[in-house]
Amino acid sequence: MRGILKLAHKLLVNDTAKFTAMLVGITFAVFLMMFVTSMFSGVLKHASSTVINIGASVWVMDPAVNTVSNSVGMPGYVLDAVRSMQGVKYAVPLYSGGALVKLADGTYQSVTVIGLDDTSLFGRPELIEGKIEDIYAESGFIVVRDAEFAKLQNPYIGSELELNDHRGVIVGIAKVPTSGLYGIPTLYTTYERAIQYIPNPRYTTSYVLVEPKSASDIPQIERQVAALGYRARTKEEFMQRTADFFIYQTGGGTNMLIMTLISFIVGLSLSGQTFYTFILENLERFGALKAIGTKSRDLVGMILFQATFTALTGYGLGIGLCAFLVWLAKRRLPSYAAMITFSNLAIALGMVVVIAAVSSYVGVRRVLRIEPFDIFRG
């Protein structure tokens, strides 16, 4: 069989023009599919950045919350109630909100402010400069050094900033696993300072972060929180909720789906058509092979091999091109959201397999239908 496959390979790649056209079609389709889905994956991940960075197992929130950045304040008794629930090891409040910082040159910059529980500082970021206890110092803020750091004019320890007419002092510089989606810098401070500095509605607790005694306690915690009229979600459920919001309620999912389908159709039509032409051009020769004594299954094997080889080569090139461009973009724009995931790779592979299957199906049909007698008749 190896010789027959080598024969199929040579017939394919030696037809440089068609092979190139098919590769370009599949590469382009895979590139587009990967790019769109990677961008969307990146957006979803960055949209859940606070959930990832804080790292709490269970988040208690108002049922109306769709994404972590759009919190709905909860009254203080929720925290007390959660702390008294069965299965809860400990529970702390978290503040998450937005504010305006007045910079030294008089301009304003939006920031995300995360207020950590004053007692435990649960969810604190990893510091790369400064000491965490300095967060308790007067007007202390920790700034995250991410792609948006420069928007605060590259602050350093001791830098002062004006936040809603309050003086703030940078006491530490931190790093976090994932930067935010909206392209604005992040400041960490204590919960009490956050609600003191930032004008708030009546209820100030954005989330209650819960550590269950064990994973098996989570369902009963969820039930008890639901009985209060609130919602407890695990970290994964909250990230999924955020993803669902972006996919189903913002139009982003539909756009991604349309783009992916367009890429698929472009790839299918370009490669499928070229592969079909390739088969048509060689139809008489396939008929001659049949006359000489090639079995139908060998001919099918040859065509499937040609389609698979083209599809997988195009897939590899498409992935490579996408990875290269994402890498290039991230060098220029550190906050560039695109992220290649195994799911993206699997989706693109699935679509490429469909392209290969459809292309080879039409080719196989034509080759199986040709009668060697037609070769004699000319």
Dihedral angle over CA of 27, 28, 34, 39, nearest 10 = 150
377 scored as a contact of another protein (CB under 8 A): yes
363 scored as a contact of another protein (CB under 8 A): no
Closest CA to 107 of 151, 139, 167: 151
Which of residues 134 and 298 has its CB atom nearest to another protein in the complex?
298
302 scored as a contact of another protein (CB under 8 A): no
Site for another protein in 234-293 (CB under 8 A): 282, 284-285, 287-293
179 scored as a contact of another protein (CB under 8 A): no
Smallest distance from another protein to CB 17, Å: 11
Which of residues 232 and 375 has its CB atom nearest to another protein in the complex?
375
Q: Is the CA virtual torsion 9, 13, 19, 23 positive or negative?
A: positive
Supply φ then ψ for residue 203, to 5 degrees.
Answer: -105, 135
Which of residues 249 and 296 has its CB atom nearest to another protein in the complex?
296
15 scored as a contact of another protein (CB under 8 A): yes
Which of residues 296 and 343 has its CB atom nearest to another protein in the complex?
296
Smallest distance from another protein to CB 57, Å: 60
**Which of 98-106, 203-211, 265-273, 367-375 is the region at the interface with another protein (rule: CB under 8 A)?**
367-375
Smallest distance from another protein to CB 371, Å: 8
| Residue 273, token pair as written in the block | 């058509």
CA distance 60 to 200: 19
17 scored as a contact of another protein (CB under 8 A): no
310 scored as a contact of another protein (CB under 8 A): no
4 scored as a contact of another protein (CB under 8 A): yes
7 scored as a contact of another protein (CB under 8 A): yes
Closest CA to 303 of 289, 292, 317, 291: 289
Give Cβ neighbours of residue 331 (< 8 Å, ≥ 6 apart): none
| Eight-state DSSP code of residue 217 | G
307 scored as a contact of another protein (CB under 8 A): no
Q: Please give the sequence-ordered ranges of beta strands (E in DSSP) within 75-165, or none if there are none.
A: 88-102, 108-116, 126-130, 140-144, 160-163
306 scored as a contact of another protein (CB under 8 A): no
Smallest distance from another protein to CB 274, Å: 15
Contact 277, 25 (CB under 8 A): no
| Eight-state DSSP code of residue 168 | E
Which of residues 4 and 169 has its CB atom nearest to another protein in the complex?
4
How many of the other CB atoms lie within 10 Å of CB of 220?
A: 14
**Which of 3-11, 94-102, 169-177, 350-358 is the region at the interface with another protein (rule: CB under 8 A)?**
3-11
Contact 305, 364 (CB under 8 A): no
- Chosen residue from 224, 294, 310, 344 binding another protein by CB under 8 A: 294
Closest CA to 123 of 78, 58, 171, 72: 58
296 scored as a contact of another protein (CB under 8 A): yes
Contact 32, 263 (CB under 8 A): yes
* The one-letter amino acid at 42: G
- What is the size of the binding site for another protein (CB under 8 A)? 31
CA distance 78 to 90: 13
373 scored as a contact of another protein (CB under 8 A): yes
Which of residues 5 and 358 has its CB atom nearest to another protein in the complex?
5
CA distance 202 to 78: 14
- Chosen residue from 89, 166, 167, 295 binding another protein by CB under 8 A: 295
Which of residues 28 and 278 has its CB atom nearest to another protein in the complex?
278
Give Cβ neighbours of residue 223 (< 8 Å, ≥ 6 apart): none
Residues at the interface with another protein (CB under 8 A): 1-4, 6-7, 10-11, 14-15, 282, 284-285, 287-296, 298, 371-373, 375-378
